[in-house]
Amino acid sequence: MPPHLAYFDSHAHLSASSVLPDIEGILARAKEAGVKRILNICTDVETLEKGLLLQKRHPQISNAGATTPHDVEKEGESAFPFFAEAARSKKLVAVGETGLDYYYEHSNQEMQKRFLKRYLHLALECSLPVIFHCRDAFDDLFAIADHEYKKNAPAILHCFTGTIHEAEKVLSRGWHLSLSGIVTFKKSEALREVARIVPLSQLLIETDTPYLAPQSKRGNQNEPAFLPETATCIAKIKGISVEELAKATHENAHGLFGF
């Protein structure tokens, strides 16, 4: 790894139960791969508590938190006060991942919308960026955000897998679009077209650890050390050097998360 390369993994679940047992090895491999900072996404009270402890031991880790749209029906009400307290006491650098998922619809749509609005309001109250999860629900996401979230307030569409038309709507709102290892998959031609059109100034890269390992590591548990494969793929698509891509996405994340 060239010494001047510095990646920012903008979305990883480091405090997940499948990741924590090997966290020291995972962080050592990330450092060796040039991943200098990692945003840990906390999705329930347990991962929030463990994420905050991780940050104390490892200053390269920061935390974001919210109940995912999958789980709001089951635990949204009980968990919200904990995420709200963490955001208000400046323990979080972003609110999320929140949003809408009509593909799986593990929680009913009205419940998902209700908690999306609550987390948007929390993000505005605390002057934090919001991290969206969205699948098969872009029309409702845009409609709710346009009504409930301040224009030009910072937002990230994490692990984007939508169409070019949906990407253009994300970008037109001034939001950032984050690409994961999915962009490297053999059948992801449409997503690679999205990667081509995203301005460098609105691009982030992520692993979504422990999910979605890139093409050469498929079948393995994902980890931040695998981020360079995704970066190299996107840089090639955009016709730029991986150094330029790493620098731009690192600077974008630093600006968004207030470092």
What does the DSSP 8-state code read for residue 15?
T
| pLDDT reported for residue 58 | 98
Residue 1 lies in a domain: no
Residues 108-124 pLDDT 10s: 999 999 999 999 999 99
Q: How far apart are CA 194 and CA 63, in angstroms?
A: 27
Residue 79, domain CATH: 3.20.20.140
Q: Tokens in use for 122?
A: 């929390």
- pTM, whole model, 2 decimals? 0.97
CB 87 within 8 A of CB 128: yes
CB 135 within 8 A of CB 124: no
CB 62 within 8 A of CB 90: no
Amino acid found at 50: K
Domain carrying residue 114 = 7-257
| pLDDT reported for residue 5 | 87
What does the DSSP 8-state code read for residue 207?
-
Phi, psi of 181 (to 5 degrees): -60, -15
| pLDDT reported for residue 1 | 47
Residue 188 lies in a domain: yes
| pLDDT reported for residue 101 | 97
Residue 2 lies in a domain: no
| pLDDT reported for residue 104 | 86
Q: How far apart are CA 217 and CA 1, in angstroms?
A: 18
CA distances from 191 to 48, 180, 210, 232 (A): 31, 10, 21, 15
Residue 80 lies in a domain: yes
Q: How far apart are CA 191 and CA 6, in angstroms?
A: 24
CB 49 within 8 A of CB 78: no
72-88 and 109-126 helices cross at what angle (nearest 10)?
0
**Which parts of the chain sit beneath pLDDT 70?**
1-3
Residue 229 lies in a domain: yes
CB 131 within 8 A of CB 95: yes
Domain count, the chain: 1
| pLDDT reported for residue 86 | 98
| pLDDT reported for residue 81 | 98
CB 233 within 8 A of CB 206: no
Q: How far apart are CA 45 and CA 65, in angstroms?
A: 9
